[in-house]
Structure 1
Amino acid sequence: MTDQPPPARRLALVLGDQLSFELASLRGLDPRQDAVLLAEVREEVTRVPYHPKKIALIFSAMRHFAEALRRRGFRVHYVTLDDPDNCGSLPGELVRWADRLRAGEVHLTECGDWRLEQSLCHCGLPLVWHADTRFLCGRAEFARWAADRQPLRMEFFYREMRRKSGLLLDADGAPLGGGWNYDGQGRKPLPAGVEAPMAVRFAPDVITREVLALVGSQFAGHPGVLDGFDYPVSHGEAQALWQHFLDFALPAFGDYQDAMASGEPFLFHARIGAALNIGLLDLRRLCADVEEACRSGRVSLGVAEGFIRQLIGWREYVRGIYWLQMPDYATRNAFGNRRPLPAFYWTGQTRMNCLRQTIDQTLKHAYAHHIQRLMVTGNFALLAGIAPRQVCDWYLAMYLDAFDWAALPNTLGMAMHADGGYLASKPCCASGQYIRRMSDYCASCAYRVSESTGEQACPFNALYWHFLMRHRRQLEANPRLGMVYRTLARMPETRQQALWRRGEDLLARLAAEDGL
């Protein structure tokens, strides 16, 4: 690199999950005096083995955003992964470019990853930090809300966010319909004959094809399939994906959001998590669109409330928990689990059809919806006593929308209950009967969901009771598990012993070559 670019009064670093024109650190930039930096760095996509489609999405979206900024008049410096001068880390690139541009000020927006923010803070440069206003609730605001509440509960936080945003309120500030939460409605399995809308797909353009070639050559050893990449990589494409959901899937989303079906990876889900989390969609606009659909009568209040609750309730809540509790939160392991992650999480090679279906589609699409993650892969990891850090790393690596602020609390707290109940009031554990009720997976499984002991019995059944038995001291006082433990107490001793032996056998086989 020999050409010396003109100096910059202000240099703004934009991260791969901050691709918003409204980003706080971009405000006030003067294209004549200031510059923007984006950098593809190996460190950020190899600390866990990111799915190649996830790497391709981020890099392509970054390149499209850089071009869009240039069209708006910004002076953009972009470092590609294969640039020979690329030092491989974001702090290193920031220091290199701040020095090269003789930048008077270096501006950043809050990161979505505690580790990255700390490394940037210690890069040796005086930094000007900006709050990430893409979220409804700031870090300090959440900390103030949480300060005098123990235990924390998302429902009360969600009501505060409804009041703050004014969403789905009447003229007097009361919730539309008289209730704050309609979560009890819907949640049905997919009936025979109900077809999900065809998924909208986006053909790779020249920029994306260049990225796909790069990712294919540089990350061939990462788990997951790169072929068939068809995700939105620009603001326009992301808006088209969102509009497709509004037009064709939102009305049925409430009923079938928990349903699972063989060969149907998307069903009625929006699939906007990745686009939203990297900045291609705006939270407030999404909520306004859903509210308008409700007030115009195109969708029911229950559907609208449930979708908005996921955005301004749960999504904002887990981000608040993350920044309130890090870095200690990442090390929590309330059950003391040490068992390694089974190899089939990386291959899908298991006789359990529910896990095979979910992991196969994850490897193919870098996507699974929330119930597949929570009640199939997450539930099995919880019941089997897998080390939480390994499970968290797997989710972060495999899913397009998984960024640390969102993935860690959802995995460690919600799926693994490794925080001891800080995030969720009880473990989200279930036997195979839940999967049978909410999917068609069991009909084509090598195991029998109607059985709990014996070689052909569904592993989820015995592992469920084995989990409850081995953690009885920690869990039996939980009021939400009282009925379950009373059922266990009424079981004949011989039945309990048979379930325990079956559970022990299954756990021993996890590490064996024949597996499950």
Structure 2
Amino acid sequence: MANFKVLRLILGDQLNASHSWFKEKDPDTLYLIAELKQETHYVKHHVQKLCAFFYAMERFAVALKTANYNVLHLSLDETCQDKTLPDLLTRIANTHNCTEIHYQYPDEYRLKKQLSDFKKNSTFEVTAFDTEHFMLPFERITERFEKNKHVTMEHFYRSMRKQYNILMDGDKPHGGKWNYDSNNRNKFKKADIAAIPQPKLFNNDVSSILSRLKKHNVSYFGELENNQVPWPLTRKQAQSCLAYFCEHLLKHFGQFQDAMTDQVNNNASLYHSRLSFALNAKLIHPLYVIEYVLREFNANKDMISISQVEGFIRQILGWREYVRCVYWINMPEYADKNQLNATQTLPTYFWDGNVKMNCLSHALTQSLETAYAHHIQRLMIIGNLCLLTGIHPDEVDSWYLGVYIDAIEWVEMPNTRGMSQFADDAIIATKPYAASGNYINKMSDYCKNCQYDVKQKVGEKACPYNSLYWQFMNKHRSLLEKNPRIGMVYKNWDKQDEQLKERTLAQAKHYLTNLNKL
């Protein structure tokens, strides 16, 4: 067994070939990439998510070996004796007589704590490094954010634009506006749906990984067609996906980024890039993506408007960086926030999609079949239902973290507990993203094919979102009435007929009592 001085750990979401670790080849350094049982059951995962990470890790290990680095890639077969990550590190370091262990800062608090504790108590010399992936380095988060304090995302986004000179003309925003979100709220028309390009899919065979999951009794849910994961799981695939996005999808991304439809098959991701897993696994760098998109924009301004490009860049340079900062500045207390005192249990149809509401059925079924739904489906369909019915944020967090292929806690929890469930004491959202059926009807064609009537508040056919919305607003009036972004809603409520108000609240109570039968 070969001996090495340094053991370097690479986690499953640290597949960054551009990291400074790989600037030079050190014959005394061994890189460790390992499937580990502890990473399969901290929540119940979608099968595509498990297979995607294990496949990406294996291919990254192969790429490093091909480039003549010393790499040890271990499968579940070879780590089944290791109960924890520190157990694995200790065993491998002792086996190869290593004296130093290096790791990159994990992007989940539970792993950061686990490795920090290991560093404190270890007999090895343990050193932590930045992942070199995010555009705001970890040590600079405290310069922009303060614990339990709201930072406006738009202000943060503008400062990042200035810092990196992205879409800037000197000190002014390119095109004269910082944000083109008002241009990006279009609903699909029939002709728009017919014009949606097919998604860029890949044939990543994960048969051997599936066999290992079954062999080691890993519990999972979801579907996997033909034992293949269709997402980009290598750097080369991610680059190909980015090129496809820029050529075929970018020109309409912003215009339809919030639109929803049930008229396409479940593999369709509309005009979204399908790069979220690759970005979050660090297969591709956010600045690389942004610069590629900007080159495409500058070369094709006659075809691609600035509103499409700005909308896409805002998601990466603005929102993605922002929620990561919110997560780290507020953990671990953030994971316990529940300002609305929500206590309900997640309905059973979250695991099978068997619900009469067409919008919810489509979003849930798509999530369970493809491990994906875009941000408005997550926020305004699924998240909205959880918010209005008072599902405990722990249950919402666990479901979102498990079901989506791109879900890592740093990005999932602020989006779910903060933005979606308004549970974080308004650290992220200054108002709850609660909506009646009218919003869903405005942004989708779901309501046309639903058993419920989106225009009715009460009655057997009344859309559940309508009465549940007013029940939610009425229940939390003392908290929300003075909120300048939402207070005017109560003037509308107070003007309504008293009998209708009573019937609306009774309707909501009926739906809450029969939550599993919607």
TM over 0.5: yes
Distance in 2 separating the partners of 1:138 and 1:288: 19
Instruction: Provide the secondary structure at the position in 1 that maps to 2:78.
Output: coil
2:297 corresponds, among 274, 294, 297, to: 294
* Preserved CA contact (<8 Å) 2:134 2:286: yes
Distance in 2 separating the partners of 1:414 and 1:85: 38
* Preserved CA contact (<8 Å) 2:262 2:445: yes
Distance in 2 separating the partners of 1:158 and 1:444: 38
Q: How far apart are 1:186 and its partner, in Å?
A: 2.1
Q: How far apart are 1:346 and its partner, in Å?
A: 1.0
Q: Does 1:282 align with 2:285?
A: yes
Distance in 2 separating the partners of 1:151 and 1:410: 14
Amino acid at match of 2:212: L
Distance in 2 separating the partners of 1:135 and 1:233: 19
Q: How far apart are 1:220 and its partner, in Å?
A: 7.0
Distance in 2 separating the partners of 1:494 and 1:480: 27
Matched residue, 1:230: 230
Q: How far apart are 1:83 and its partner, in Å?
A: 2.0
CA-to-partner distance for each residue in 1:201-246, whole Å, 9 max, x for gaps?
A: 21235xx332233335556742201224322221111111111111
Q: How far apart are 1:57 and its partner, in Å?
A: 0.3
Matched residue, 1:79: 74
Q: Does 1:269 align with 2:272?
A: yes
Instruction: Provide the secondary structure at the position in 2 that maps to 1:6.
Output: coil
Q: 1:84 to 1:414 in 2, by over 3 A?
A: closer
Distance in 2 separating the partners of 1:16 and 1:149: 30
Distance in 1 separating the partners of 2:219 and 2:262: 28
Matched residue, 1:241: 241
Q: Within 5 A, what are the aligned runs for 1:432-511?
A: 432-511=437-516
Q: 1:243 to 1:396 in 2, by over 3 A?
A: same
Distance in 1 separating the partners of 2:406 and 2:149: 30
Distance in 2 separating the partners of 1:92 and 1:455: 57
CA-to-partner distance for each residue in 1:152-208, whole Å, 9 max, x for gaps?
A: 1011111111111111112x2321112211111121111112221111221235xx3
Amino acid at match of 1:169: M
Q: How far apart are 1:48 and its partner, in Å?
A: 0.7
Structure 1 unaligned residues grouped into runs of 5+: none
Distance in 1 separating the partners of 2:204 and 2:289: 25
Instruction: Provide the secondary structure at the position in 2 that maps to 1:107.
Output: strand
Q: Which moved further from structure 2: 377-386 or 276-285?
A: 276-285
Distance in 2 separating the partners of 1:86 and 1:285: 39
Distance in 2 separating the partners of 1:364 and 1:355: 14
Matched residue, 2:4: 8
Matched residue, 1:17: 13
Amino acid at match of 1:180: W
Structure 2 unaligned residues grouped into runs of 5+: none
Q: Within 5 A, what are the aligned runs for 1:61-210?
A: 61-83=56-78, 86-123=81-118, 124-125=121-122, 126-147=125-146, 151-170=150-169, 172-194=170-192, 195-205=195-205, 208-210=206-208
Matched residue, 2:354: 349
Q: How far apart are 1:85 and its partner, in Å?
A: 5.2
* Preserved CA contact (<8 Å) 1:38 1:78: yes
Distance in 2 separating the partners of 1:98 and 1:435: 54
Distance in 2 separating the partners of 1:466 and 1:379: 13
Amino acid at match of 2:339: A
* Preserved CA contact (<8 Å) 1:9 1:105: yes
Q: How far apart are 1:300 and its partner, in Å?
A: 1.1
Q: How far apart are 1:29 and its partner, in Å?
A: 5.5
Q: Which moved further from structure 2: 177-186 or 273-282?
A: 177-186
Distance in 1 separating the partners of 2:507 and 2:460: 8
Given the two structures, how large is their TM-score scaled by the length of structure 2? 0.94
Q: Which moved further from structure 2: 245-254 or 145-154?
A: 145-154
* Preserved CA contact (<8 Å) 2:104 2:129: yes
Q: Which moved further from structure 2: 257-266 or 52-61?
A: 257-266
Distance in 2 separating the partners of 1:498 and 1:316: 44
Give the share of equivalent positions with the same residue, in percent: 36
Q: After the TM superposition, which segments of 4 or more aligned residues of structure 1 sit over 4 Å from their partners?
A: 147-150, 216-221
* Preserved CA contact (<8 Å) 1:352 1:447: yes
Matched residue, 2:319: 314
Distance in 1 separating the partners of 2:410 and 2:279: 13
Distance in 1 separating the partners of 2:357 and 2:95: 55
Instruction: Provide the secondary structure at the position in 2 that maps to 1:122.
Output: helix
Distance in 1 separating the partners of 2:508 and 2:147: 42
Please provide the CA RMSD for this pair.
1.7
Amino acid at match of 2:223: V
Distance in 2 separating the partners of 1:503 and 1:407: 29
Q: 1:200 to 1:357 in 2, by over 3 A?
A: same
* Preserved CA contact (<8 Å) 2:36 2:79: no
Q: 1:85 to 1:447 in 2, by over 3 A?
A: closer
Q: Within 5 A, what are the aligned runs for 1:39-50?
A: 39-50=34-45
Amino acid at match of 1:470: K
Instruction: Provide the secondary structure at the position in 1 that maps to 2:417.
Output: helix
Distance in 2 separating the partners of 1:6 and 1:174: 57
CA-to-partner distance for each residue in 1:415-450, whole Å, 9 max, x for gaps?
A: 000012110111111001111111111111111111
* Preserved CA contact (<8 Å) 1:44 1:89: no
Distance in 2 separating the partners of 1:382 and 1:132: 34
Matched residue, 1:51: 46
Distance in 2 separating the partners of 1:234 and 1:31: 24
* Preserved CA contact (<8 Å) 2:34 2:79: no
* Preserved CA contact (<8 Å) 1:106 1:128: yes
Matched residue, 1:406: 411
Distance in 2 separating the partners of 1:253 and 1:219: 41
Distance in 2 separating the partners of 1:322 and 1:287: 23
Distance in 1 separating the partners of 2:449 and 2:472: 26
Q: Which moved further from structure 2: 415-424 or 292-301?
A: 292-301
* Preserved CA contact (<8 Å) 1:41 1:86: no
* Preserved CA contact (<8 Å) 1:52 1:215: no
* Preserved CA contact (<8 Å) 1:35 1:76: yes
CA-to-partner distance for each residue in 1:289-312, whole Å, 9 max, x for gaps?
A: 111222221421111111111101
Q: 1:200 to 1:334 in 2, by over 3 A?
A: same
Amino acid at match of 2:495: R
CA-to-partner distance for each residue in 1:358-408, whole Å, 9 max, x for gaps?
A: 111111100000000000000000000000010000000000000000000
Q: Which moved further from structure 2: 365-374 or 42-51?
A: 42-51
Instruction: Provide the secondary structure at the position in 2 that maps to 1:479.
Output: coil
